[in-house]
């Protein structure tokens, strides 16, 4: 059974960096059949995909277009985990952040299972 356990601070100051970690059990961050994602949820914007990392003979990343330049998702093979860094945060980045495994199906279709428990992150001074 795959489980994802998130950790990281719940309060981040404006213009600082948001950093979260997701520890994987029951699967490998280096698996070549899944991807490892960060998704956030807020009342105003709903569920938003942020970015992912995955291994296919080498490491790849994809990011939401509106996040490019501010976001980094990186694997840590030694700890079997992956992390999110979001720079220059503003109050609009206040949300619940989730990590999730992306299962790849036919024709590169995909869905998310399982999800981490979620981390409420508030951006405030």
Partner 1 sequence: DIQMTQSPSSVSASVGDRVTITCRAGQGVSRWLAWYQQKPGKAPRLLIYAASTLQSGVPSRFWGSGSGTEFTLTISNLQPEDFGTYYCQQGDGLPRTFGQGTHLEIK
Instruction: Kindly state the smallest distance separating residue 54's Cβ from partner 1, in Å.
Output: 13
| Ramachandran angles phi, psi of 66, nearest 5° | -75, -10
| Cβ pair 75, 12 in contact under 8 A | no
Nearer to partner 1 among residue 46 and residue 69 (C-beta):
46
Nearer to partner 1 among residue 13 and residue 45 (C-beta):
45
Nearer to partner 1 among residue 29 and residue 67 (C-beta):
67
Each residue 83-112 as x (binds partner 1 by CB under 8 A) or -, in order, gives ---------------x-x--x-xxx-xxxx
Query: What is each CA distance from 46 to 15, 70, 79, 92, 112, in whole angstroms?
Result: 23, 20, 31, 13, 16
Q: Judging by beta carbons within 10 Å of its beta carbon (0-12, 13-18, 19+), is residue 48 exposed, middle or buried?
A: middle
Site for partner 1 in 43-82 (CB under 8 A): 46-49, 62, 64-65
Site residue total, partner 1 (CB under 8 A): 23
CB atoms within 10 A of CB 76: 14
DSSP symbol at 82: E
Tell me whether strands 81-86 and 95-104 are parallel, antiparallel or unpaired: unpaired
Nearer to partner 1 among residue 15 and residue 33 (C-beta):
33
Instruction: Kindly state the smallest distance separating residue 60's Cβ from partner 1, in Å.
Output: 13
Q: Which residues bind partner 1 (CB under 8 A)?
A: 46-49, 62, 64-65, 98, 100, 103, 105-107, 109-118
């Amino acid at each position: 059974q795959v489980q994802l356990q998130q950790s990281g601070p719940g309060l981040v100051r404006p213009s600082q960096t948001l950093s979260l970690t997701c520890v994987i059990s029951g699967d490998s961050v280096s698996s070549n059949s899944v991807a490892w994602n960060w998704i956030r949820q807020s009342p105003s914007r709903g569920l938003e995909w942020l970015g992912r990392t995955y291994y296919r003979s080498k490491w790849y990343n994809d990011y939401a277009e509106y996040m490019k330049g501010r976001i980094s998702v990186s694997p840590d093979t030694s700890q079997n985990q992956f992390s999110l860094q979001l720079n220059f945060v503003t109050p609009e980045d206040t949300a619940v952040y989730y990590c999730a495994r992306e299962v790849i199906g036919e024709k590169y279709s995909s869905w998310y299972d399982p999800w981490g428990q979620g981390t409420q992150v508030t951006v405030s001074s």
